[in-house]
Chain A
Amino acid sequence: MAQLEKKRLYVRRLDIPHEETPAKKLRLSKPSKSAALHIDLCKATNSTDALQYLLQFARKPVEAESVEGVVRILLEHYYKETDNSVRLKIASLLGLLSKTQGFSPDCIVDDAINTLSNEKSHQVLAQLLETLLIIGTQLPESPALRLRLVEVAYKHLSDTYFGVRNKCLQLLGCLGMVDAPLGKENEGAGTSLGGLRDVQSIISDYFGDQDPRVRTAALKAMLQLHERGMKIHQIIYDQACRLLTDDYEQVRSAAVQMVWVLSQLYPESIVPIPSSNEEIRLVDDAFGKISHMVSDGSWMVRVQAAKTLGSMLQVSPHFLEQTLDKKLMSDLRRKRTAHERAKELFASGEFSSGRKWADDAPKEKLDTNTVNLIASGACGAFVHGLEDEMFEVRIAAVEALCQLARSSPSFAEKCLDFLVDMFNDEIEEVRLQSIHVLREISTHITLREDQLDTVLAVLEDSSRDIREALHELLCYTNVSTKECIQLALLELLKNLNKYPTDRNSVWKCLKFLGSRHPTLVLPLVPELLSTHPYFDTPEPDMDDPAYIAVLVLVFNAAKSCPTMPALFSDHTFRHYAYLRDSLSHLVPPLRLPGRKQVYGLDSVDSGPGSGSVESAQLFLQQSLNRVSTIQNLEAPGAQDLLDLTTRDLLRLGELQTELAGAADFCATYLRCQLLLMKALQEKLWNMAVPLCLKQNVTATAAAQQILEETYKLEFLYSGLESRQVATIHHVRLQAKALQLVLTARTRQGLDLLIGSCEKFLQDVESFQRLFLTELPHLQDSFVDKLLELMPRLSSCKPVELVKILQTTLRQSGLLQLRLPEQIHRATATIIEPTGESDNPLRFTSGLVVALDIDATLEHVQDPQNTVKVQVLYPDGQSHVIHPKPGDFRKPGPHRHRLITQVYLSHTAWTEPSQIEVRLLLAYSSSSTSLTSPSKLGWSESLESLPPAEAAVEGTIPFSKAVKVFIMPKPARR
């Protein structure tokens, strides 16, 4: 940094004589940069100095317009320079400079190519080729240039230094002709090539290079060609396969990719099996070869191979199933695997017999000739991969299994045992991943009892993530027998007992389990509810989470099993009514004999077919249309209409959860309009200025509220299009105008007024800039009118401006709101703490107590940065806590889970009292601004420009506050 500062000073000092006008901004002095460099370089007495200058120079950005000058100077020095390292630095600088935005490097191509011809040092040569590569990629539109560069690359391919060959191959890979026909290419390069050779065959020559780095580069170049859309010839396949046995891991890794690419290009072509007359499909052959790489010596290659296997979906099922194959033997006798044994035990009806010594005793004797020790082809690839030493390989294998299983139900069935085994891995990440994978493929499979048993054993895991993933898995699982249901229920209850915090998750899990398997639950009902044909059994405790869990299971099963309610006892019905009310998301509406549907809500919920969503949508649209008939804000009856519509929409949002976001959004928007309308219709406008000092309180409050609401509209809802954002900003502009008018009426200070007028005009301008494309849709609106008057506004006096604003505000029409396709409101629910506890959390004042917080967030984008926890103490103190990024988990799309701890502390209280905990959504208008997609480079940010509009930052509370009883005790002395 110090050096940088010095350099800056230096530049500035140099600038002064050059500049005629006093340098107001540093930027203006930039063109002299080349001159400065020139002076620097001339002053350099030796190569070390020159290198130092160049290094310093490289730290500063150069404007597009002065790049060429700088390049010339650099080249000039390049030719003069004898020291390799300085030339190397210059060459790299050339590359760096050609990357400058807005600079087109075609003017320096010739110079750059010329430098190559005289260069002796291999390192510098390699660097120059790198520079050419950058130039070439900067100018993708010029085929002639590419041809030249490719020619250069051909020429230097035979260099003795590996780096040069590497770069040449890279150049060929990035710039080699993809679509140009061969003839055309040869016209350009024919003389130097002297043959009909295309890029691919030239690159493939270097598959056999003596340097592994060059071999890797050749493979990478070929892959690059493929990525750019060139069809790789099938001849390459054999060569690539040979490289699979290379001595160097990076070559093997690249070769795996190459083989994979070819297997995707020519899956159906036939290749011969060496040393036999048979032939197989290429994709099968490649699959076999890559499977072989899963037991490679280098774990990088193993990861690569395992990952790749997952995407080879065209492979024949026969080969696929081999990957899970393992023939066990013991002393040359065939042995059954534990999986097979478990299956047999299950089939014979005897489960968990308690193991006997030599239970796994080998059976028949094997013929020595048939035992194949080196698995040819795909044999046991996944068996190896899943047992690998490195967890990276295991995860890759699990993922590959998942991909393959999703496309092949029979394979899914087979890999089940292996996945279940992975639940016992030593690394949690792997366990979690395999649980997720099993969930993804669970549509294909039905768990056997013994498998379920193994799965359920994991329920006792102390990691919350694992347990919840497992609950999720159970939600989607099919089981085969009623014993399985019983087993699952038992284990889940055990889990509930051990980890009471899992309550919600367990209940949810049982809900799905019940609704999935009504017929399996039916025979269990008497036992589950402990009813007896003759005797009345005691009524279970309604607050017992375990009992609720059982009821959730039964009720959900009963939903599609009408005979079940007959088995319920009286208190079960009562409990149903209670649970239906208190846990309506877990307990479905049931048609119970002799009972009326108690709640009106039920009728809505009972038939939530697609029809009702559509009709609701229609209603929403109609309401909006109705509102849009209001032409003027002052029209009679407009207020009532808005009022009614807002209410309708809010109710609709409650009833139809799918449309809650949209309905809320509209309602909020309309409320803003209503507020604006009311504010404008107040009588104060007719009064003289001095009289209305007191009365305008409501109007000011309204303006403030509208502003807040607009921020909510903008940041709380996801799925907004720029049209809606424009509408929101428009309302905000109106609110600001209102504020301005009010300020003008209340305060007399002219300076202040001028300031706020200027600010407002800036706002209008930035609005225009931001939503240029949306302006046509905003016809006849407030902004439209303002922009018409803009020339006048910017020149007139504040008082006049205020007047204009006032009239425009009153005259402008209501902007119609168009609903976006998908709009969701960000919501948060705090699950923990529940706020029900009457026992205060006691702690010694001055020390801290940790409060566990567990919340689900829906439709929050980037929660790591936006979601905060607010703690409000009774004395009005408020703390905002930023949770760690690691506290957020993502259990599903658009859903996040926040599990964190906040630390509370306070001075001593005499009584326990409640604090409030809520979640906040932080926003900043600058960060989401639509027009700043280009990130500032680090070097540019050094000269920090103030952002165009002052960023407005704030927070929106978006969850209900939860009250927690706490009691800081005075410290004992």
Chain B
Amino acid sequence: MPEIKVTPLGAGQDVGRSCILVSIGGKNIMLDCGMHMGYNDDRRFPDFSYITQNGRLTDFLDCLIISHFHLDHCGALPYMSEMVGYDGPIYMTHPTKAICPILLEDFRKITVDKKGETNFFTSQMIKDCMKKVIPLNLHQTVQVDDELEIKAYYAGHVLGAAMVHIKVGSESVVYTGDYNMTPDRHLGAAWIDKCRPDILISESTYATTIRDSKRCRERDFLKKVHESIERGGKVLIPVFALGRAQELCILLETFWERMNLKAPIYFSTGLTEKANHYYKLFITWTNQKIRKTFVQRNMFEFKHIKAFDRSYADNPGPMVVFATPGMLHAGQSLQIFKKWAGNEKNMVIMPGYCVQGTIGHKILNGQRKLEMEGRATLDVKLQVEYMSFSAHADAKGIMQLIRMAEPRNMLLVHGEAVKMEFLKGKIEQEFSIDCYMPANGETTTVTTNPSVPVDISLNLLKREMALGGPLPDPKKPRTMHGTLIMKENSLKLVSSEQALKELGLNEHQLRFTCHVQLQDPHSDADTLHRIYTHLKSVLKGYTIQHLPDGTVIVESIVIKVSSSAEDSNTKVLLLSWSYQVKTWTLFLEAAALPGVTTKLSSRHP
């Protein structure tokens, strides 16, 4: 039986450095190629030596697909393609292709310029790598080679995030990347059609969470900002440059617009400006509202949000500032925080998770005195708020996606093992399908039951249709006669005549004969004639011929009469029929001949 093999090189029972190998129908595909944020050593990148010890990966992989631009999904891309060596096609969506190099470059800068690492990929490598990228459009079926085709679906999550449907013949796999089933202020919800893949590989970050409505969260957020502004306070929102930042910008921008507020909103410059540019361009990837209104006004052309300058932080009056990075561990956000921390009118809103050890984490846990470098302490008087804006599907969302796609098997990646365990149980229980959760390096094998397509000749089909009953039973299988020809890797179902013709064979006729004895005093010719007239009267609607050479032909059955050698009264009836009409002869025998016999015998007792 054919098999599909899935091996996670990263993200197996883990979050980070997503990289999954899939072998399907003789093709090897790599899904995502990410880095791990938690490590600074070799574990940072997926272990490509699993594929091959030495030499290039090109020979072993048919293609590489990147689902979206987050570094844990594309961070190892230049390393893999330029340093390990891969020249095959890399697929990603247009927005991903546009934004991905910005993030990679930023990543490189931090690692090489700030941390001083060597033996890391260079800017040139990023450029070279991006040259190998083939962009994908949503719902566009791309033929990688003759057999392998891929199709991208909308995944929400971040701009340009996609799920991919990979198909070889009738076997298929869907990989979700990260996705979001609830729409947000700038992106829509993930959607997939009922493609019934053999395996659905889904992320499971929030496998054990069911989230509250996002409206409450948004309302809370807006209310807090609004109240603080009305008090005359300053609001600091530490964000990462891409993704949530744009959502929050849209949220505040529309709120400002709606409520006619005048306080300035600033966005710390840098990456963001470049990225915002792309958000403006890829309107088709955003949600309904933005898509519908962009003709009047592109929502990403912010009216109220302006670029931030270092000096603005000391301006009097209320303001809102978005600043990077998101966990308050360094950079501009920390600088501003230090300036504003002393005033209880001010507020800091943490829109996401903070890693232990960062200032963000400390203040969230209620620490009011912070030790800064150089033994200085900082009194935190400003209000600290936490607001979770996350764009992963929760448990319900994952289940909803399964219901949409109707896969035959399920495979969970990109999540913690314990949580996966729970979801796995639920999936098996609710959908009664197999669910797998391989660890890194562990291979999951799924046998498939692919249907083998066979060409059928139209004439044969029409003939068989005509034989069958009335139409409305399309779901029932129906048997038909035909000849299966296997020729040069293709299967054909044709009628037997055509098969013979094609193969250049002669048709063999198979005829059955049978002798029936009857008592009849008449001459042979007379008996035959009587049989003929009798049959004529019994079998109405059939062609019955009396040929001059002393035979009667009913359809294709031949009847001959000859006197037996011993007794001229005993006539021997010779019946001969071909293979196909066997049943007919039996019918003749059963229905017609006894009639003849009885008739004959009754007349001559």
Decide if A and B are genuine partners.
yes
B470 contacts A387, CB within 8 Å?
A: no
Write 12 A-B pairs (CB below 8 A) sorted by A numbering: A157-B471, A160-B465, A208-B475, A295-B400, A297-B194, A326-B212, A335-B212, A338-B216, A357-B365, A383-B213, A422-B215, A424-B215
Q: Which residues of A contact B400 (CB under 8 A)?
A: 295
Kindly state whether residue B404 has any CB partner on chain A within 8 Å.
yes
One of B110-118, B182-190, B301-309 at the interface: B182-190
B364 contacts A357, CB within 8 Å?
A: yes
Q: A338-B213, A389-B183, A463-B258 are in contact. List 13 more A-B contacts (CB 8 A).
A: A158-B470, A326-B212, A329-B208, A354-B383, A360-B212, A373-B395, A374-B430, A387-B183, A389-B189, A389-B288, A426-B185, A460-B259, A460-B260
Kindly state whether residue B220 has any CB partner on chain A within 8 Å.
yes
B220 contacts A355, CB within 8 Å?
A: yes
Kindly state whether residue A951 has any CB partner on chain B within 8 Å.
no
A421 and B212 in contact, given A158-B471, A297-B404, A389-B189 (Cβ under 8 angstroms):
no
Partner of A387, one of B213, B254, B288, B419: B213
Question: Min CB distance, A158 to chain B, in Å?
Answer: 5
Kindly state whether residue A328 has any CB partner on chain B within 8 Å.
yes
Q: Mark A381-408, 1 if CB is under 8 A from B, else 0.
A: 0010011111100000000000000000
Q: Which residues of B contact A418 (CB under 8 A)?
A: 213
Tell me the complex Cα distance, A328–B217, Å: 14
A residues lining the B interface (CB < 8 Å): 157-158, 160, 205-206, 208-210, 247, 295, 297, 326-332, 335, 337-339, 354-358, 360, 368, 371, 373-375, 383, 386-391, 418, 421-422, 424-427, 454, 457, 460-463, 498
A218 — nearest CB in chain B belongs to which residue?
A: B472
Q: Mark B484-496, 1 if CB is under 8 A from A, else 0.
A: 0000000000000
Tell me the complex Cα distance, A295–B399, Å: 11
Q: Mark B372-407, 1 if CB is under 8 A from A, else 0.
A: 000000000001111000000001100110011000
B259 — nearest CB in chain A belongs to which residue?
A: A460
A389 contacts B287, CB within 8 Å?
A: yes
A210 contacts B386, CB within 8 Å?
A: no
B211 contacts A328, CB within 8 Å?
A: yes
Tell me the complex Cα distance, A877–B384, Å: 65
A374 and B403 in contact, given A247-B194, A328-B210 (Cβ under 8 angstroms):
yes
A426 — nearest CB in chain B belongs to which residue?
A: B289
A355 contacts B189, CB within 8 Å?
A: no
Tell me the complex Cα distance, A326–B224, Å: 25
Kindly state whether residue B223 has any CB partner on chain A within 8 Å.
yes
Kindly state whether residue B282 has any CB partner on chain A within 8 Å.
no
Q: Which residues of A contact B504 (CB under 8 A)?
A: none
A209 contacts B383, CB within 8 Å?
A: no
Question: Min CB distance, A635 to chain B, in Å?
Answer: 68
B469 — nearest CB in chain A belongs to which residue?
A: A158
A330 and B220 in contact, given A297-B404, A357-B365, A373-B430 (Cβ under 8 angstroms):
no
Q: Which residues of B contact A373 (CB under 8 A)?
A: 210, 395-396, 399, 426, 430
Kindly state whether residue B209 has any CB partner on chain A within 8 Å.
yes
Kindly state whether residue B218 has any CB partner on chain A within 8 Å.
yes
B191 contacts A462, CB within 8 Å?
A: no
B257 contacts A462, CB within 8 Å?
A: yes
Q: Which residues of A contact B211 (CB under 8 A)?
A: 328
A389 contacts B212, CB within 8 Å?
A: no
Q: Which residues of B contact A454 (CB under 8 A)?
A: 219, 223
B224 — nearest CB in chain A belongs to which residue?
A: A355
Question: Min CB distance, B362 to chain A, in Å?
Answer: 11
Q: Which residues of B contact A375 (CB under 8 A)?
A: 396
Q: Mark B466-483, 1 if CB is under 8 A from A, else 0.
A: 000011111100000000
A421 and B219 in contact, given A295-B400, A297-B404, A371-B426 (Cβ under 8 angstroms):
yes
Tell me the complex Cα distance, A432–B426, Å: 40
Tell me the complex Cα distance, A329–B395, Å: 9
Question: Min CB distance, A236 to chain B, in Å?
Answer: 15
A460 — nearest CB in chain B belongs to which residue?
A: B259
A417 — nearest CB in chain B belongs to which residue?
A: B216
Q: Mark B76-103, 1 if CB is under 8 A from A, else 0.
A: 0000000000000000000000000000
Tell me the complex Cα distance, A335–B192, Å: 30
Tell me the complex Cα distance, A160–B194, Å: 26
Kindly state whether residue B214 has any CB partner on chain A within 8 Å.
yes
Question: Min CB distance, A499 to chain B, in Å?
Answer: 8
Q: Which residues of B contact A391 (CB under 8 A)?
A: 288-289
Kindly state whether residue B41 has any CB partner on chain A within 8 Å.
no
Tell me the complex Cα distance, A210–B472, Å: 8
The 3 closest A-B pairs by CB, nearest first: A210-B474, A338-B216, A389-B183
Which residues B190-216 have CB closer than 8 A to chain A? Answer: 191-194, 208-216
Q: Which residues of A contact B473 (CB under 8 A)?
A: 208
Could you say which of A160, A356, A374, A388 has the most chain B C-beta atoms within 10 Å of its C-beta?
A: A374
Tell me the complex Cα distance, A208–B473, Å: 7
A297 — nearest CB in chain B belongs to which residue?
A: B404
Tell me the complex Cα distance, A326–B426, Å: 17
Tell me the complex Cα distance, A135–B384, Å: 75
Kindly state whether residue B366 has any CB partner on chain A within 8 Å.
yes
Size class of the contact patch on chain B: 35 or more
A427 and B289 in contact, given A368-B422, A387-B183 (Cβ under 8 angstroms):
yes
B250 — nearest CB in chain A belongs to which residue?
A: A426
Kindly state whether residue B550 has any CB partner on chain A within 8 Å.
no
Tell me the complex Cα distance, A338–B220, Å: 10
Kindly state whether residue B222 has any CB partner on chain A within 8 Å.
yes
B365 — nearest CB in chain A belongs to which residue?
A: A357
Tell me the complex Cα distance, A331–B421, Å: 12
A462 and B258 in contact, given A338-B212, A373-B399 (Cβ under 8 angstroms):
yes
A160 contacts B471, CB within 8 Å?
A: yes
Q: Mark B253-286, 1 if CB is under 8 A from A, else 0.
A: 0100111100000000000000000000000000
Q: Which residues of A contact B192 (CB under 8 A)?
A: 297
B363 — nearest CB in chain A belongs to which residue?
A: A357
Kindly state whether residue B425 has any CB partner on chain A within 8 Å.
yes
Q: Which residues of B contact A338 (CB under 8 A)?
A: 212-213, 216-217, 220
Q: Which residues of A contact B185 (CB under 8 A)?
A: 426
A424 and B430 in contact, given A329-B210, A355-B385 (Cβ under 8 angstroms):
no
Q: Mark B120-163, 1 if CB is under 8 A from A, else 0.
A: 00000000000000000000000000000000000000000000
Tell me the complex Cα distance, A335–B220, Å: 17
Tell me the complex Cα distance, A354–B226, Å: 13
A209 and B474 in contact, given A297-B191, A390-B288 (Cβ under 8 angstroms):
yes
Which residues B205-246 have CB closer than 8 A to chain A? Answer: 208-220, 222-224, 226
Tell me the complex Cα distance, A389–B288, Å: 7
Q: Which residues of B contact A206 (CB under 8 A)?
A: 472
A426 contacts B254, CB within 8 Å?
A: yes
Tell me the complex Cα distance, A329–B211, Å: 7
Question: Min CB distance, B321 to chain A, in Å?
Answer: 20
B395 — nearest CB in chain A belongs to which residue?
A: A373
Question: Min CB distance, A335 to chain B, in Å?
Answer: 7
B403 — nearest CB in chain A belongs to which residue?
A: A374
Q: Which residues of B contact A425 (CB under 8 A)?
A: 215
Tell me the complex Cα distance, A371–B193, Å: 27
A338 — nearest CB in chain B belongs to which residue?
A: B216
Tell me the complex Cα distance, A331–B217, Å: 19
B208 contacts A498, CB within 8 Å?
A: no
Tell me the complex Cα distance, A208–B386, Å: 54
Tell me the complex Cα distance, A133–B547, Å: 55
Tell me the complex Cα distance, A461–B399, Å: 38
B260 contacts A498, CB within 8 Å?
A: yes
Tell me the complex Cα distance, A498–B472, Å: 68
Q: Which residues of A contact B422 (CB under 8 A)?
A: 332, 368
Could you say which of A158, A297, A386, A425 has the most chain B C-beta atoms within 10 Å of its C-beta?
A: A297
B388 — nearest CB in chain A belongs to which residue?
A: A360
Q: Which residues of A contact B208 (CB under 8 A)?
A: 329-332
Could you say which of A331, A373, A460 has the most chain B C-beta atoms within 10 Å of its C-beta?
A: A373
B470 — nearest CB in chain A belongs to which residue?
A: A158
B182 contacts A387, CB within 8 Å?
A: yes
A453 — nearest CB in chain B belongs to which residue?
A: B223
A337 contacts B399, CB within 8 Å?
A: no
B219 contacts A424, CB within 8 Å?
A: yes
